[in-house]
Structure 1
């Protein structure tokens, strides 16, 4: 078959398949165009999940009349500036979009109409592109967000490629994808107002924030991620060389079941990059269970020449010039910020506890004793029906039966009447000046109840002490290195030559973790010593895991994680067990250690070690507020 050129309309439809695979992709490209045009307000309106209509209106600089027809040509863009030599530097991108493919690609598979009024122009102009066929520009009425801007309308998406419609999901699923895209772009630009309307209903309205770097960003993130995010996150602002990491990350006890709540941005561009995802995982690796994921919105800013955004048609993947520096900054920045949070635990644990707590509601309304009631009471008192274990008369509803057995209730009342209470310090200053308050009681030999200045704290003594022991063991490993055990017969492990080479290059790093290796010919590694903490190990399996880690993330996480798992297990066995009665001094000592130890707000498995209940919330349970 002879080689021939494809018709231009076919070329455009192939390009559309690479850039515009669903309505959300079209929305992303068009909103990015609006932001690049300097818009401060962006209004998105869609119908039928975006398949019927996509309308993007902005108050940006607009498109001049003589550039409208050029805007819908392939590879025509205002976002790349020619250098002095006539070339274009594709590794120095300062804008969200740059390919010049979005508008012609959309016009090739849909009915596209652009109406724009350039800043300073006397009138607006519009142009249409239907299935790749271009109409001439003509004057148009303009009544929009401001005196200048652009309105792009996309109708009947994929009408020119009916086969593509078969691969679309439900209208609701497409709408959710559009909403997710708009929210991610809105997170990156708190200084821009956004709105999203679907089938006549406003589903998102965000006003512009005045402080886009700090509180304005926090407010925008809270508006999108929910009210729980702001009080349960920590601010991050770290810099290494010319790379800056900023944003907010959730406390370890504020987590989710998937990574969908991790939002990552590079130079304001939403991305899904495996290097960044791996770095976030590494920072939280011994703070969360493996099936839980932190909530975070992280912004990485670096010179455009240090990152290549031209590696994916949809611009969702990037490549860093110095990936090791970027990864180290993310892991170090997150770890430093989390350590600075100390013993903080998320407020959602308290909300869950309060949600589970229910004040007892009598099945019948309480009646003031009348003559008739007194008569009934005397009759039943004579029969012994209302006699409490302590001898007191109960005038409550007859249908009520206490959950506590009479024997236990009788013993408790007797002890209370005799003044037999645990000997605990009762200095109100303890509760005032210590974040976790002063211990007041131990219940079920498992939980410590402490009084704070404005509430109470309930501590799981085993989980809390487990984290304290674990942090001490980690510190010992960091200070003195890992003890090694020499193999009686060194083990030779056969690997792929590239894997063996990458492991040999990190022999010194692995030696600090207790694993002593050396090259043993092409594609082979000799294992001489292993970490003593791990006991007998499968050396071949471990080296293969380490090689995978180094290939994917650039660090040997498998060994670190195994060492930390052993430390965690040892800490669990060596900590204060549930069921052990503690003295007042022991309980208060545990509280003080928690206040001074990083990450003490959660155990080694990611569960909270304490719950704090504010007095105001407790009073609501009893109808005092």
Structure 2
């Protein structure tokens, strides 16, 4: 066994580079963060061969003075923190003082900078080896330029792990996209092999910011999302949340920022996933661009060298704030919100193809009104049938009063007639007919509305059952023989700490020993559930996230099943007033754009879409 010795400065820097510099995109991230910390308003990024040959980043920030330039490439040298108090209130993107030293140890690096009040610029260069950096005068405008050439030229083993030029450049673009979303006030210009890829101008108002989000994330995202802005208890959340119907097969359109720093945090991911749980189709991923602002003292960003991870000091507060804010924002989305964005969206971007739409229309065995100006009767005194023939399941321990929440739709007013020229046309329009006993066809100002009547009524019934449950509360049912479970002491302590919380949800837990808990009562609705496993899962959530929705999730699953059985079925023939009553309820019901399983309940076919089906105007 060899003797203990100190690592050489070069080897120490190269080891650090293994943590910080994974690929060219890692270099771009570190250098862009330095430029942003220097209050740059314009940043130019020049890339050659995917960043392997050259990365040049120029900014118009505050620059680095001559006397500080000699320390700029030294390890653990920074201008951003001075003491422990600064470390506990980090407000800058970079602060560890490792990036430039690590990058310079595996590349040929040239740093040129000029401060505002200096008459000339100064330059320093290194070539992947420890030496006394020579500073020399140079010509340069105010700001800083960093050139990184021949990345990993002196560590060929690392260079072998790099991917193709295209792949590496794609990673660089993703880094720039992330940072451009967090810094709307900064202009970004990117070139690759001498070709301009994109230019992002400063976005100083809401319209310009939405335009930048559309450029970065795609215009379809900005068209299929709703803006949010919520402040509570010193926390601020704003940004854009994608509609549940605009989900993706991968989690590749998710941008979450904490005090301007993009992070990937499992607590944040869990809160967002829970908020979407009731409206997202199985296996799909939500889309969002969200910014969380909070006191820097409440978040620890010094968790990982790449700073992608953070640790919240009040984890449960953050989780509950994110969940409640997004859950409410999604609940408040109404058909008119979808309609505002989809009118000018091409048919092929509305989750329905021209072929499918043609099939819908081609199978129509209905008598459409000969003119859109023909009056349509609505709101007759008609209700859906709530007799036992609806095959409603027994409600077991739900109070008999809940039967009223299967009464499906809004009470009618006196019979009226309306035309599509009426100024106050409802968002989902007026029913025309029923197709194959499955779909409702309605006409609004913009064209044709197709509604899956079972899916829509299922959501309406489900929301009413949930409202009734929240109003009446959860009733517990004592077990004849208490069920004893063996758990860890940490879990038992958690169960004892949250005993009142369990009680509000219908559970009664009693601790019998250091690692033993008895279940004496469970919610009446969950009497068929495996209580021991449910309690263990809930305790695991409480220990991991400080909160749990598993009990509510089980209850909601039961209510969703009841709503499914209690809703109108396929092939049920509805009269025009019944269809209109369903449309009006959809316009007022939370989350009515999706059924209980996350599938869409309706789609809009604008006149332009219909014209394309028949090649009109060609």
Q: Normalising by structure 1, what TM-score?
A: 0.85
Confirm or deny: 8 A CA contact 2:24 2:151 kept in the other structure.
Answer: yes
Closer, same or farther: CA 133–354 of 1 in aligned 2, 3 Å: closer
SS of 1:13 mapped into structure 2: helix
Confirm or deny: 8 A CA contact 1:113 1:127 kept in the other structure.
Answer: yes
Q: Name the counterpart of 1:533.
A: 525
Mapping of 1:3-402 within 5 angstroms? 3-82=4-83, 88-134=85-131, 135-142=133-140, 147-211=141-205, 214-343=206-335, 344-345=337-338, 347=342, 351-352=348-349, 356-357=353-354
CA distance in 1, matches of 2:155, 2:322: 43
Deviation at 1:196, TM superposition (A): 2.2
1:455 aligns with 2:450: no
Question: Which stretch of the first structure deviates more once superposed, 493-502 or 543-552?
Answer: 543-552
Deviation at 1:172, TM superposition (A): 2.5
Question: Which stretch of the first structure deviates more once superposed, 29-38 or 344-353?
Answer: 344-353
CA distance in 2, matches of 1:238, 1:487: 43
Closer, same or farther: CA 297–40 of 1 in aligned 2, 3 Å: same
CA distance in 2, matches of 1:226, 1:624: 29
Deviation at 1:53, TM superposition (A): 1.5
Q: Name the counterpart of 1:614.
A: 606
Q: Name the counterpart of 1:428.
A: 419
Deviation at 1:546, TM superposition (A): 1.3
CA distance in 2, matches of 1:215, 1:549: 40
Question: Which stretch of the first structure deviates more once superposed, 25-34 or 540-549?
Answer: 540-549
Q: Name the counterpart of 1:570.
A: 562
Deviation at 1:446, TM superposition (A): 0.8
Q: Name the counterpart of 1:470.
A: 462
Deviation at 1:49, TM superposition (A): 2.3
Deviation at 1:439, TM superposition (A): 0.9
CA distance in 1, matches of 2:97, 2:194: 31
SS of 2:442 mapped into structure 1: strand
SS of 1:293 mapped into structure 2: coil
Gaps in structure 2 of 5+ consecutive residues: 379-416
Confirm or deny: 8 A CA contact 1:237 1:333 kept in the other structure.
Answer: no
Question: Which stretch of the first structure deviates more once superposed, 542-551 or 278-287?
Answer: 542-551
Deviation at 1:623, TM superposition (A): 4.2
SS of 2:431 mapped into structure 1: strand
Tell me the alpha carbon deviations over residues 241-277 of structure 1, each in whole angstroms, 9 at most, x when there is no partner.
2211111111111111222211100110111111111
CA distance in 1, matches of 2:428, 2:554: 32
Deviation at 1:424, TM superposition (A): 5.3
Deviation at 1:62, TM superposition (A): 1.3
Closer, same or farther: CA 534–155 of 1 in aligned 2, 3 Å: same
Question: Which stretch of the first structure deviates more once superposed, 425-434 or 316-325?
Answer: 425-434
SS of 2:304 mapped into structure 1: coil
Confirm or deny: 8 A CA contact 1:494 1:523 kept in the other structure.
Answer: yes
Closer, same or farther: CA 261–352 of 1 in aligned 2, 3 Å: closer
SS of 1:433 mapped into structure 2: coil
CA distance in 1, matches of 2:191, 2:304: 29
Mapping of 1:577-596 within 5 angstroms? 577-596=569-588
Tell me the alpha carbon deviations over residues 419-457 of structure 1, each in whole angstroms, 9 at most, x when there is no partner.
xx9995562157842111111111111111111122221
Deviation at 1:483, TM superposition (A): 3.0
Confirm or deny: 8 A CA contact 1:503 1:547 kept in the other structure.
Answer: yes
CA distance in 2, matches of 1:173, 1:514: 53
Tell me the alpha carbon deviations over residues 100-120 of structure 1, each in whole angstroms, 9 at most, x when there is no partner.
111011011111111112213
Deviation at 1:504, TM superposition (A): 2.6
Confirm or deny: 8 A CA contact 1:432 1:452 kept in the other structure.
Answer: no
Deviation at 1:545, TM superposition (A): 1.5
Q: Name the counterpart of 2:397.
A: none
Q: Name the counterpart of 1:392.
A: none
CA distance in 2, matches of 1:177, 1:423: 56
CA distance in 1, matches of 2:282, 2:115: 53
CA distance in 2, matches of 1:194, 1:295: 24
CA distance in 1, matches of 2:349, 2:38: 45
Q: Name the counterpart of 2:392.
A: none
CA distance in 1, matches of 2:108, 2:73: 12
Q: Name the counterpart of 1:487.
A: 479
SS of 2:219 mapped into structure 1: coil
Closer, same or farther: CA 318–354 of 1 in aligned 2, 3 Å: closer
CA distance in 2, matches of 1:359, 1:170: 39
Of structures 1 and 2, the larger Rg is shown by 1
Confirm or deny: 8 A CA contact 2:316 2:547 kept in the other structure.
Answer: no
CA distance in 1, matches of 2:580, 2:203: 44
Tell me the alpha carbon deviations over residues 185-205 of structure 1, each in whole angstroms, 9 at most, x when there is no partner.
000011111122223333332
Deviation at 1:137, TM superposition (A): 1.1
Q: Name the counterpart of 1:368.
A: none
CA distance in 1, matches of 2:451, 2:129: 67
Q: Name the counterpart of 2:438.
A: 446
CA distance in 2, matches of 1:537, 1:41: 59
Tell me the alpha carbon deviations over residues 163-211 of structure 1, each in whole angstroms, 9 at most, x when there is no partner.
2223333333222221111100000011111122223333332111122
Mapping of 1:501-520 within 5 angstroms? 501-520=493-512
CA distance in 2, matches of 1:117, 1:35: 16
Confirm or deny: 8 A CA contact 1:283 1:331 kept in the other structure.
Answer: yes
CA distance in 1, matches of 2:300, 2:18: 22
Closer, same or farther: CA 412–308 of 1 in aligned 2, 3 Å: closer
